[in-house]
């Protein structure tokens, strides 16, 4: 999978640091996300995955280190320029972040009107309708998000992240809280976003088997540092005890029907 990817990274970080007070959350994170890849970030809860996402996207400012999007150093941009550059990024957060007081169509039209300043109602309707068809939920434009199932909401959340046609789509735990069948639907959607739209997908996930199945590259974050990174096969070969424990729990002990959390995880 990785071999036919172009080597030039679309996103790169160098010695990225982020602290909240005396709490050092990111410690010198270096990563390279290849263009048009699916890049998964895995690791225990509270280890800094979401903070890493927000720091890359410019929603949080790093305390040290650099972030590049192609050849542009985001960490050196003035706020206005950073804001403009962020239009290249879409993000789908865990709770889908939809406005329940608006219809699905209004939710999807909102960024077109507010960010792109589109006014042509017919053009907006057409773009929304096409996208709802693409996520295989045609005809739900007039529904309110709180009347949709959890899986449908997630897909609408992905559609909302796609509506501005970003170059990179960030997913923070897109399958958490979904049953295995719905999780698979969302994982397939990530695969389609990359394959059919050519968008680089960066995802944080606790679904380790899915990460190993769909990602081209995986980064394992532990307490703000990357302890393993590479293709799924390379990460699987890591001799780091925590990485091995994660893999063992996710693939071996879970499928055997019993979960014994190893001591390394402190559970
Ligand atoms: N705005 C903030 N102010 C202070 N501390 C924060 C802030 N955001 C995150 N943190 C802290 O940073 C640490 C990492 O949080 P983060 O949300 O990145 O974890 P995570 O790896 O995404 O965990 P999970 O898998 O549970 O989502 C946590 O200790 C969290 O409390
Ligand atoms: Mg998180």
Instruction: Identify the pLDDT of residue 262.
Output: 43
CB of 160 within 6 A of ligand 1: the answer is: no
CA of 60 to the centre of ligand 2 (A): 14
Per residue of the chain (267 residues), what is the pLDDT tens digit?
444 545 589 999 999 999 999 999 999 999 999 999 999 999 999 999 999 999 999 999 999 999 999 999 998 999 999 988 888 999 887 766 789 999 999 999 999 999 889 899 999 999 999 999 999 999 999 999 999 988 899 999 999 999 999 999 999 998 888 888 889 999 999 999 999 999 999 999 999 999 999 999 999 999 999 999 999 999 999 999 999 999 988 886 555 554 444 444 443
Residue-wise burial string across 110-125, b where 16 or more C-beta atoms lie within 10 A, e elsewhere: bbbeeeeeeeeeeebe
- Give domain status of residue 32, yes or no: no
Domain count along the chain: 1
For ligand 1, say whether the CB of 183 is within 6 Å of any of its atoms. no
15 located within any domain = yes
C-alpha closest to that of 162 among 129, 117, 131, 133: 131
Instruction: Return the pLDDT at 1.
Output: 45
pTM of the predicted protein model: 0.90
Q: Is residue 65 part of a domain?
A: no
Q: Could you tell me if residue 73 is inside a domain?
A: no
Q: Is 22 in the pocket of ligand 1 (CB under 6 A)?
A: no
What span, in angstroms and rounded, lies between the C-alpha atoms of 148 and 143?
A: 8
The strand pair at 64-69 and 9-20 is best described as: antiparallel
Has residue 30 been placed in a domain?
Answer: no
The pLDDT assigned to 41 comes to 97
Give the pLDDT confidence score for residue 249 in this predicted structure: 87
Residue 255 located in a structural domain: yes
Which tokens in the block code for residue 128?
């929304």
User: Residue 200 is part of which domain span?
Assistant: 2-22+38-52+80-259
**Which domain CATH number covers 233?**
3.40.50.300
Residue 74 lies in a domain: no
Q: Would residue 63 count as lying in a domain?
A: no
Distance of CA 198 from the midpoint of ligand 1 (Å): 30
For ligand 1, atom 9: residue with the closest CA: 51
205 lines ligand 1 (CB under 6 A): no
pLDDT recorded at residue 258: 47
Q: Is the distance from the beta carbon of residue 51 to the nearest atom of ligand 1 less than 6 Å?
A: yes
């Amino acid at each position: 999978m990785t071999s036919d990817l172009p080597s030039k990274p679309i996103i790169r970080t160098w010695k990225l640091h982020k602290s909240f007070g005396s709490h050092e959350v990111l410690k010198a994170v270096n990563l390279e996300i290849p263009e048009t890849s699916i890049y998964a970030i895995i690791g225990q809860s509270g280890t800094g995955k979401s903070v890493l996402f927000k720091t890359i996207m410019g929603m949080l400012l790093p305390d040290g280190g650099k972030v590049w999007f192609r050849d542009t150093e985001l960490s050196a941009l003035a706020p206005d320029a950073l804001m403009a550059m962020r239009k290249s990024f879409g993000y789908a957060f865990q709770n889908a972040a939809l406005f329940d007081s608006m219809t699905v169509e209004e939710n999807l039209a909102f960024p077109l009107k507010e960010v792109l300043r589109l006014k042509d109602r017919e053009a907006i309707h057409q773009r929304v309708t096409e996208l709802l068809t693409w996520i295989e939920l045609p005809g739900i434009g007039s529904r309110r998000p709180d009347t949709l199932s959890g899986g449908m909401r997630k897909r609408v959340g992905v559609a909302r992240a796609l509506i501005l046609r970003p170059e990179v789509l960030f997913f923070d735990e897109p399958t958490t809280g979904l049953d295995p069948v719905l999780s698979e639907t969302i994982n397939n959607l990530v695969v389609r976003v990359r394959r059919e739209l050519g968008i680089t997908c960066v995802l944080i996930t606790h679904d380790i088997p899915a990460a190993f199945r769909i990602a081209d590259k995986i980064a394992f974050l532990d307490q703000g540092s990357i302890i393993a990174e590479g293709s799924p096969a390379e990460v699987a070969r890591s001799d780091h005890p925590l990485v091995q424990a994660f893999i063992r729990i996710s693939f071996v002990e879970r499928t055997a029907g019993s979960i014994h959390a190893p001591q390394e995880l402190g559970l």
